[in-house]
């Protein structure tokens, strides 16, 4: 029979054992948590901690170079992080060390800038009865934007209404948001009315943009207008772009034959479908090169 004293000593031993085990488990848990979540450091003078994954979200506070962050999840090349003083928010992963992913492998992770050509005082080319190119570029870009958003992609438009936007501001937006793709929409015009027809896909930086041009252009083979193919085009909006960029001329607005298509919602919807299909192929098939 145990004495009362040895019973107390035994209970004491159990308690010590329990405390040691608890410390051990908590230690492992902390270490696992720390090593499970990626640690990054701010690599630029100053960045914003935002309420959502994009430049359009409100900034909650500022972070400075050297601030350490724990990455909790990611979306669209943005990180949801915890700061050292327990603030939570989103930061652009390209401002961090180590940098976030450079590429995306599916459309729903992509950031896409759509550029409806012309706008405001710049009407673009005219049809035989003076209908303006700027009207149809915006209609088309809005159709593409709606489809892309439905598929989960992040979409920015260089304009959403009939307003003037400088040429320089268009690629600047793509550069600011580190777009995975930039698409400028236009309708062609030939020196003489009714002298040309068809659609053309332009790129400027071959290595950066040709595969995007190819993926999109391939989809245009079944359109009601002839596919004139892919060509090099020296246009500022794709030339000053640091990201994969194409400019699409989706028919000749001063051709009566082409304009009959351009003004129809059905044609614009077909083009929008093709562009989205092309982007989808581009991101899934060429995830190593985009
Ligand atoms: Zn144009």
Kindly report, residue by residue over 72-106, the tens digit of the pLDDT. 999 999 999 999 999 999 999 999 999 888 788 99
Q: How far is the CA of 194 from the centre of ligand 1 (A)?
A: 17
Cα(132) to ligand 1 centroid in Å equals 10
| In CATH, 107-289 is 3.40.50.2300 | no
Q: Is the dihedral of CA 54, 60, 66, 71 positive or negative?
A: negative
pLDDT tens per residue, range 232-256: 999 999 999 999 999 999 999 999 9
How many angstroms separate the Cα of 209 from the Cα of each of 170, 200, 246? 16, 15, 7
Q: Where in the chain is the domain with CATH 2.30.30.40?
A: 39-97
Q: What is the pLDDT, as a whole number, of residue 236?
A: 98
pLDDT at 184: 98
134 CA distance to ligand 1 middle (Å): 8
- Its pTM stands at 0.86
Task: Give the tokens for residue 284.
Answer: 């899934």
Start and end residues for every CATH 3.40.630.40 domain found in the chain: 107-289
- Ligand 1 centroid, distance to 118 Cα (angstroms): 6
pLDDT in tens, 111-140: 999 999 999 999 999 999 999 999 999 999
Question: Which CATH superfamily hosts domain 39-97?
Answer: SH3 Domains (2.30.30.40)
């Amino acid at each position: 029979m145990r004495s009362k004293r040895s019973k107390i000593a035994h209970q004491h031993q159990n308690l010590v054992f329990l405390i040691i085990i608890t410390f051990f488990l908590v230690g492992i848990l902390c270490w696992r948590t720390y090593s499970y979540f990626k640690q990054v450091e701010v690599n630029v003078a100053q960045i914003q901690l935002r309420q959502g994954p994009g430049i359009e979200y409100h900034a909650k506070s500022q972070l400075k170079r050297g601030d350490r962050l724990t990455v909790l999840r990611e979306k669209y090349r943005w990180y949801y992080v915890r700061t050292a003083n327990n603030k939570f928010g989103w930061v652009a992963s390209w401002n961090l060390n180590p940098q976030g992913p450079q590429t995306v492998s599916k459309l729903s992770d992509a950031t896409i800038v759509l550029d409806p050509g012309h706008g405001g005082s710049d009407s673009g080319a005219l049809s035989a009865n003076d209908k303006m190119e700027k009207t149809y570029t915006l209609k088309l870009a809005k159709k593409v934007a709606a489809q892309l958003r439905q598929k989960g992609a992040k979409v920015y438009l260089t304009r959403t209404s009939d307003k003037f936007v400088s040429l320089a501001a268009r690629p600047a937006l793509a550069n600011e948001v580190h777009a995975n793709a930039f698409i400028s929409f236009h309708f062609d015009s030939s020196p003489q009315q009714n002298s040309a027809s068809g659609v053309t896909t332009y790129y400027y930086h071959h290595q950066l943009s040709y595969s995007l041009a190819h993926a999109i252009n391939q989809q245009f083979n079944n359109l009601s207008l002839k596919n004139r193919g892919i060509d090099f085009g020296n246009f500022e909006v794709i030339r000053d772009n640091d990201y994969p960029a194409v400019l699409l001329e989706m028919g000749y607005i001063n051709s009566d034959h082409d304009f009959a298509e351009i003004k129809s919602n059905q044609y614009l919807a077909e083009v929008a479908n093709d562009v989205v299909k092309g982007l989808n192929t581009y991101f899934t098939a060429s995830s190593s090169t985009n």
